[in-house]
Copies of this chain bind each other. A is one copy, B any other.
């Protein structure tokens, strides 16, 4: 299956007049621990600008000012504030954990708590260092079937046991059977593929102007935003978010040697508007 503008137009539909913030989902983003504070800022920019209803960031206290300098639109708190953390974890429709989470003991504790507290009505997106933390604790069971994994090749190696050279479609499909059946895998590479059970989606957009730090943080923020808003078909939502990330980079690359992640987020409202018409 090739993801193209037509599928994007099917996912990014015109909003209903009678809707409100709640209609577009509560998203909780967890990460940005020192020294990776910037990562969760990029995820938040992508998530808010893709149209999620209400975006909250659980990070470290020191990171909140920089986040708010970019994005006063988010609520933000210290992961160590247990009450806020639990309350927001429970209220969220979508939880993204991992961008700049690091792999230290605090990160492990936070990640473990997420896995324990998440429930079946919630979508859980696992990215970056949280994938490495997951690799260390597999096999385990998940409280939700709405699982999205966004590993690059090295992270997928740790998670699946497949060396990069062995990461064929068949092998990856097989490895994916260790996860809940509806798990969506965004296998990132210079030719990213999206898997779910027997489904496989690819696209032809994207290029080497995306080879710069922070692209993954932006991508998973977009996926969180899309899953929060477009719940009819999770696979299509994830696939289109991933496609659009590269599609926008393509557009921007006409006037940029390197496409910075934050410029992709900045372009989201306009591009999504065009698709929705």
Contact = CB atoms under 8 A, between A and B. Distances in A.
A262 B45 CA distance: 13
Best-surrounded residue of A77, A84, A211, A256 (most CB of chain B within 10 A)? A211
A82 B208 CA distance: 34
B38 A76 contact: yes
Contacts of A70: 69, 72
Interface stretch (A49-57, A110-118, A135-143): A49-57
A24 interface: yes
Interface string A252-264: 0111111111100
A22 to B, nearest CB: 8
A23 B17 CA distance: 40
A69 B70 CA distance: 7
Interface in A207-223: 207-209, 211-215
A34 B58 CA distance: 12
A74 interface: yes
A87 B15 CA distance: 46
A190 B15 CA distance: 13
Contacts of A18: 190, 208
Q: Chain A, interface size: which category?
A: 35 or more
A39 interface: yes
A34 B56 CA distance: 12
A53 B213 contact: yes
B213 A21 contact: yes
Contacts of A35: 64, 75-78, 81, 84
A203 to B, nearest CB: 14
Interface string A179-221: 0000000000010000000000000000111011111000000
Nearest to A34: B77
Contacts of A214: 72-73
Contact of A41 (B42, B62, B68): B68
Interface stretch (A123-131, A165-173, A233-241, A269-277): A269-277
Given A212-B24, A255-B270, A269-B257, A38 B207 contact: no
Contact of A211 (B15, B62, B72): B15
Contacts of A273: 253-257
A187 to B, nearest CB: 14
Contact of A51 (B17, B45, B84, B212): B212
